[in-house]
Amino acid sequence: MATMLSWSECEGIGAMKHDHEIDIKGLCCSAPVIRLTKEFKAFASGEIALVVSDKCSMIKDIPAYCGMTNHALLKQEEVDGLFHFWIQKQ
C-alpha cells in the first residue's frame, strides 16, 4: 500500500517532493506493472509517486509504462543499486 511522505522524509532521496512511495523491489515479470496500475488508480491527478525498484529492467519498463498510461516520468536515478522513478499521475 502506498504511504504519504512529508517533504523532510524525502529530502535524502533525490530531494524531489512526492506524495506516495511505491516499493516494487523483488517483483518481476508483469507484477510491477500490475502493482503500479493498482496504486495509481487511487491517486488524484497531479499527485507524484516515487517508485523504487531493484531491477535494472525497470529502466526501460517504467518509461514504457508511462508512455502507455500517459503518466509523466519526471525523473529517474540510481542510488546504491536501487532505481528511483518519480511519476506524476495525469
Supply the residues annotated as catalytic: 29
DSSP string, 28-70: -TTHHHHHHHHHHHTSPTT-EEEEEES-TTHHHHHHHHHHHHT
Query: Per residue in 24-39, is it b (16+ CB within 10 Å) or e — as a string?
Result: beebeeeebbebbeeb
Q: What DSSP designation does 9 have?
A: H
Q: What DSSP designation does 7 have?
A: H
